[in-house]
């Protein structure tokens, strides 16, 4: 055995950090507690990630405020957070190719891998799928997290770790645009200019679409939508979206409408705006379990109605878009907080205060 081979063979494995880590735990609606937990050790085929950035998503706020989204109910202590990135802290037994310190975005999807849908590659609709920060699976508002190598995606040098946390909403946008089968030159309207709407806007423009209209009540978000290339941006409380859209599309309506606001009003607005035989993508999560629609307009127009669920294998596409500067993630990050300030971050996002678009929790702050 050569000296080089011997050195490789004897190279020590990274040791699991000892002691406690901090985690923010939801124990009841509006009850977040900063606690200490043992740092988990990665098992066979697992990786310990040092969490460095976690986005505050609207769905996190749903769980914080209501303790549930539909039939997903928080029944015990839960660590929220599914938009996160960090670095490899320890590669567990049997894991190869992951060096300590490698910066990664973490895909929060953990399917069963065995059901009909998993065998078809449709892991996002696996009936037994676990998703970080969704009951009962803990998420990223903690200092360390154990996951599988398959859930890790390397971040290129040009992307910050905070931008790495934003890969998840961009992956959602890529999936929605993929479902829309968007073609170059088609016209698009986006309802809602939060982080999802603004990433949908960017992906649609990258595919060659003409984004004719974005609706958004908050001034800071409207300004950014305009900067990112929307032809017209309006406040739907002051200007009727249907009339504006018809004016921009010669009376036809857009080819595709993306509902990204998650309000009670926007699904019907999307149906009314969409042109006959157009496509409507529902991406936003509404505040309640049911919504009321006047369905005859959609039927008469013979619309294609598609509901987007999270994303499907779009992390690599999202990372490429951001790395190539075809999507700007940094501009969406408006606020940063430490782990002990998580409740303040949630209050900010829930109240849409201070022009917030995306608040990032940085556990090392």
152 with 237, same domain? no
What CATH number is attached to the domain comprising 357?
3.90.180.10
146 with 25, same domain? yes
**What average pLDDT does range 74-84 have in this prediction?**
97
Percent of the chain surpassing pLDDT 70: 96
ω into 29 cis (within 30 of 0): no
Name the range with the highest mean pLDDT among 6-10, 72-76, 77-81: 77-81
Residue 316 lies in a domain: no
112 has a pLDDT exceeding 70: yes
Q: Which class for 363: exposed (0-12), middle (13-18), buried (19 or more C-beta within 10 A)?
A: buried
30 with 176, same domain? no
16 with 134, same domain? yes
Model confidence at 69, in pLDDT bands (50, 70, 90)?
very high
**Which of 162-171, 287-296, 313-322, 333-342 has the weakest average pLDDT?**
287-296
pLDDT tens-digit map of 113-163: 999 999 999 999 999 999 999 999 999 999 999 999 999 999 999 999 999
90 with 135, same domain? yes
pLDDT given for residue 26 in this prediction = 98
Nearest to 306 by CA among 274, 281, 340, 332: 281
pLDDT tens-digit map of 199-247: 999 999 999 999 999 999 999 999 999 999 999 999 999 999 999 999 9
27 with 136, same domain? yes
SS3 category, 237? coil
Query: Hey, what's the torsion of the CAs at 84, 173, 202, 358, to 10 degrees?
Result: -40
127 with 193, same domain? no
179 with 153, same domain? no
Residue 317 lies in a domain: no
SS3 category, 214? strand
pLDDT tens-digit map of 237-267: 999 999 999 999 999 999 999 999 999 999 9
The DSSP result for 310-361, as a single string, is S-SS-HHHHHHHHHTTSS--GGGEEEEEEGGGHHHHHHHHHTT-TT-SEEEE
pTM (2 d.p.): 0.93
11 has a pLDDT exceeding 70: no
Count: domains in the chain: 2
Averaged pLDDT score across all residues of the chain: 94
The answer to whether the CB of 178 falls within 8 A of the CB of 171 is no
Structural domain including 58 reads: 3-166+329-362
15 has a pLDDT exceeding 80: no
Phi-psi category of 354—alpha, beta or left, where left has phi over 0 and alpha has psi -120 to 50?
A: left
Residue 83 lies in a domain: yes
**What average pLDDT does range 354-359 have in this prediction?**
97
57 has a pLDDT exceeding 60: yes
8 has a pLDDT exceeding 60: no
Residue 13 lies in a domain: yes
351 has a pLDDT exceeding 50: yes
Model confidence at 287, in pLDDT bands (50, 70, 90)?
confident
pLDDT given for residue 286 in this prediction = 87
159 with 175, same domain? no
pLDDT tens-digit map of 33-42: 999 999 999 9
81 with 204, same domain? no
Phi-psi category of 325—alpha, beta or left, where left has phi over 0 and alpha has psi -120 to 50?
A: left
Residue 321 lies in a domain: no
Residue 92 lies in a domain: yes
Give the pairing of strands 333-338 and 358-362: parallel
149 with 12, same domain? yes
183 has a pLDDT exceeding 90: yes
Model confidence at 289, in pLDDT bands (50, 70, 90)?
confident
302 with 195, same domain? yes
What is the Cα–Cα distance from 291 to 68, expressed in whole angstroms? Answer: 17
Residue 219 lies in a domain: yes
Residue 114 lies in a domain: yes
pLDDT given for residue 13 in this prediction = 52
Strands annotated E in the chain? 20-28, 31-38, 47-55, 68-69, 72-73, 83-91, 103-106, 109-110, 130-131, 144-147, 152-154, 187-191, 210-215, 233-234, 256-259, 279-282, 304-307, 333-338, 358-362
What is the Cα–Cα distance from 157 to 271, expressed in whole angstroms? Answer: 42
**What average pLDDT does range 46-53 have in this prediction?**
98
pLDDT given for residue 14 in this prediction = 60
What CATH number is attached to the domain comprising 243?
3.40.50.720
């Amino acid at each position: 055995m050569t000296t080089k081979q011997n050195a490789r063979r004897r190279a020590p494995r990274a040791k699991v950090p000892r002691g406690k880590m901090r985690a923010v735990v939801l124990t009841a609606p509006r009850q977040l507690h900063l606690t200490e937990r043992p740092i988990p050790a990665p098992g066979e085929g697992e990786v310990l990630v040092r969490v460095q950035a976690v986005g505050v998503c609207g769905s996190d706020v749903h769980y914080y405020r209501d303790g549930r989204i539909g039939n997903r109910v928080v029944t015990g202590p839960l660590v929220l957070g599914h938009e996160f990135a960090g670095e490899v802290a320890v590669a567990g037994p049997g894991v190869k190719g992951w060096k300590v310190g490698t910066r990664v975005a973490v895909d929060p999807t953990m399917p069963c891998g065995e059901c009909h849908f998993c065998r078809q590659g449709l892991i996002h609709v696996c009936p037994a799928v676990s998703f970080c920060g969704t009951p009962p699976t803990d998420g990223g508002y903690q200092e360390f997290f154990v996951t599988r190598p398959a859930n890790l995606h390397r971040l290129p040098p040009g992307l910050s770790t905070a931008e790495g946390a934003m890969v998840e909403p961009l992956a959602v946008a890529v999936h929605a645009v993929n479902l829309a089968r968007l073609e170059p030159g088609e016209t698009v309207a986006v309802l809602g200019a939060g982080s999802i709407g603004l990433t949908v806007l960017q992906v649609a423009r990258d595919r060659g679409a003409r984004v004719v209209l974005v609706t958004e009540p908050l001034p800071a978000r409207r300004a950014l939508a305009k900067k990112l290339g929307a032809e017209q941006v309006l406040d739907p409380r002051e200007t009727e979206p249907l009339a504006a859209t018809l004016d921009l599309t010669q009376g036809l309506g857009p080819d595709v409408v993306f509902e990204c606001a998650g309000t009670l009003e926007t699904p019907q607005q999307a149906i009314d705006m969409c042109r006959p035989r157009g496509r409507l993508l529902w991406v936003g999560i509404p505040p309640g379990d049911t919504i009321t629609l006047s369905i005859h307009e959609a039927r008469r127009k013979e619309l294609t109605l598609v509901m987007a669920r999270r994303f499907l294998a779009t992390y690599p596409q999202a990372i490429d878009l951001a790395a190539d500067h075809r999507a700007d993630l940094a501009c969406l990050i408006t606020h940063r907080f430490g782990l002990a300030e998580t409740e303040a971050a949630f209050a900010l996002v829930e109240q849409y205060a201070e022009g917030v678009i995306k608040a990032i929790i940085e556990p090392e702050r």
